[in-house]
Amino acid sequence: MTLYEIDAAILALANEDGEITDYEALDALTMERDRKLENVACWIKDLTAEAKAIREEEKALAERRQKAENKAERLKGYLDHALQGQAFSSPRCKVAYRSSTSTVWDNEERVLNWLRRNRHKECYTTKTTLSRSGIGDLLKQGVEIPGARLEQKMNLNVK
């Protein structure tokens, strides 16, 4: 039986006056309902513990990946220093250089101001994010902000 079916069965035990006539059935349904609720809560605890273990494993793997990437970059620098721009090849590997161009700037704010003054909007983006905590503080102070409101919620906590 599902919780919905149990709740419906409990409601069905009441007569037209709203009185319960079969107390043994009510007790059995109530115990079944409590058992179902306990099982769902335990299932939530299991899933939460599994998600935590996965998150910790992801973190450990990310650290290992970062260490491997950093070591590869250091070795790439070592190899670059040893080759000094010369190509190298063997049956197992090939090292070559290619020419590329990258854009760099010493003062980002200075470049951005120049781009704005000279109307080069295609060269920069403007990103605006709203602060939930800041807007929430204003709303709590009684400031009316069109399109924003405080919403009360009931959060389930399973331990």
Neighbours of 136 (CB within 10 A): 12
pTM: 0.57
- How far apart are alpha carbons 152 and 159 in whole angstroms? 22
pLDDT in tens, 45-95: 999 999 999 999 999 999 999 999 999 999 999 999 999 888 898 999 999
- Coil, strand, or helix at residue 114? helix
CA distance 13 to 3: 16
Specify whether the backbone of 110 is left (phi greater than 0), alpha (psi in -120 to 50) or beta: alpha
Query: Do 35 and 29 touch, CB atoms closer than 8 A?
Result: no
Kindly report, residue by residue over 8-48, the tens digit of the pLDDT: 999 888 888 888 888 899 999 999 999 999 999 999 999 99
Helix axes 3-12, 23-83, angle to 10 degrees: 160
